[in-house]
Amino acid sequence: MHAVGIVAAAGSGLRLGAELPKALVPLGGRPLVCWAVESLRAGGVEQVVVAVPASQQAAFTAVLPGDVHVVVGGDTRTASVRAALATAREHASDQERTAVLVHDAARPLTPPDVVARVLAALAGGARAVVPVLPVVDTTVVVDADGVVTADVPRAPLRRVQTPQGFERATLMAAYAHAHGTAAEFTDDASVVRAAGIPVQTVAGDERAAKITVAHDLRMAELQTERPR
């Protein structure tokens, strides 16, 4: 199965408090986006498209390998993936079933095994698949004053990571379906589910954690200092 990777890297990284866009922030001396591209490739992805902030196109092109396609992202993650998807469609061969794996640049230490598990599920016939982890904390609902109003049984809950994998035609159709709706999506599996398509799961990995705040970056730095 031909596999195309999309890396969403057009976020600002305000919560990280960095002056650079988050995906250009260095980890172990290399920008986060380079780690994410490398994970996808090591896991079996052949072609990679990266969505970047419009103002930073040159900076991204300078650090990414020459065969990575750079496109301008949008105001939301969904808009960024939509822009990259249009490019992925032009580049992919129509001869065989194509997988599209959408990955956050903010998950630099994702082990290639996670990528391979997602690809294997797609090769096995899944139309959409996400890596997940169990929820280990007690989970509650609070009201506007921060008072707990309900406990949420955690056994059926999962935290969803990336890369999220899709049969290309399924993802294209789901994005077309979502176009013009007011719904806000935080990932691609939600876009696909909104189109009524079932989403399967495979095991995620704690090392695929998303870097959001400065503490996350410090934890990732510690991991890169040790053998992985």
Which residues of the shown chain bind ligand C5P in the complex (CB under 6 A)?
Answer: 8-11, 22-23, 51, 73-77, 80, 104-106, 210, 212
Closer by beta carbon to ligand C5P, 43 or else 74: 74
- Nearest distance in Å: CB 226, ligand C5P: 24
Q: In the complex, what is the shortest distance from the CB of residue 76 to ligand C5P, in angstroms, rounded to a whole number?
A: 5
For ligand C5P, which is the closer residue by CB, 44 or 73? 73
Neighbours of 135 (CB within 10 A): 15
Instruction: Select 97 or 218, whichever has its Cβ closest to ligand C5P.
Output: 218
CB of 167 vs ligand C5P, minimal distance in Å: 22
Residue nearest to ligand C5P (CB): 11
How would DSSP label each residue in 135-187? --S-EEEE-TTS-EEEEE--TT-EEE-S-EEEEHHHHHHHHHHHTT-----SS
Q: Least distance in Å: CB of 49 to ligand C5P?
A: 11
- Which CB sits closer to ligand C5P, 123 or 133? 133
